[in-house]
């Protein structure tokens, strides 16, 4: 894998949360209100896409289950599923939250959504990461997830010392095909 480029989006306005991550060289970056990255083969076929955005929410230790709801909503933005999606807890280096996964038909059938926030009390938002990939273990997406750090309103980098070095993708367990 080629060297990665650093990307940083500082907190601004509401929510006062941002993120930083590394983008592998094989991914194209398209910056808008969200960060959108994708890998395209020389023949023009897309191998995978990663989108990272921030969302506003009053998170006080996530008592209301907002992160789980955002992970489900993130997956629902990618596809229409016939069955309900269950969010599972996840610990990423940038924070804790929930993930959802599904396998669908199409050129990018493996779908993942992660909604995370730092463990700080009284956070006013979180980070939503959605992934569409041709295979369940797309290495560039794993690299992005491992490098992701949440930036708090004070500009501090939130880290999660509870996360381990185990692979993040593929998600544990095989998602059901819909």
Domain boundaries, the chain: 4-158
Q: What is the mean pLDDT of residues 122-147?
A: 90
Mean pLDDT for 150-177 is 59
Asked if residues 143 and 70 have their Cβ atoms less than 8 Å apart, the reply is no
SS3 (DSSP) at 101: strand
Q: Considering the chain, what percentage of its residues have pLDDT values greater than 90?
A: 38
Q: Is the pLDDT of residue 81 over 60?
A: yes
For residues 77-100, give the mean pLDDT.
83
Please determine, looking at this structure, whether the domain spanning 4-158 carries the CATH number 3.40.50.300: no
* Cβ burial, residue 79 (10 Å; 0-12/13-18/19+): middle
pLDDT interval class at 97 (50, 70, 90): confident
Average pLDDT of the residues in 159-170: 56
Task: Determine how many CB atoms are found less than 10 A away from the CB of residue 28.
Answer: 12
pLDDT at 168 (0 to 100): 57
pTM of the complete model:
0.83
pLDDT at residue 153, rounded to an integer? 73
């Amino acid at each position: 894998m080629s060297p990665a480029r650093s990307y940083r989006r500082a907190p601004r306005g509401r929510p006062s949360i941002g993120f930083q991550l590394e983008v592998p060289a094989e991914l194209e970056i398209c910056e808008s209100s969200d960060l959108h990255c994708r890998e395209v083969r020389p023949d023009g076929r897309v191998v995978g896409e990663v989108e990272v955005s921030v969302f506003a929410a009053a998170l006080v230790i996530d008592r209301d289950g907002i992160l789980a709801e955002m992970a489900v909503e993130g997956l629902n933005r990618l596809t229409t599923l016939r069955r309900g999606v269950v969010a599972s807890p996840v610990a990423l280096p940038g924070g804790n939250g929930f993930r959802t996964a599904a396998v669908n038909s199409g050129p990018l059938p493996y779908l993942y959504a992660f909604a995370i926030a730092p463990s700080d009390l009284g956070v006013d938002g979180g980070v939503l990461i959605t992934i569409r990939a041709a295979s369940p273990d797309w290495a560039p997406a794993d690299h992005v997830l491992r490098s992701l750090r949440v930036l708090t309103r004070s500009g501090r980098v939130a880290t999660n010392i509870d996360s381990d070095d185990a692979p993040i993708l593929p998600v544990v367990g095989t998602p059901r095909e819909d």
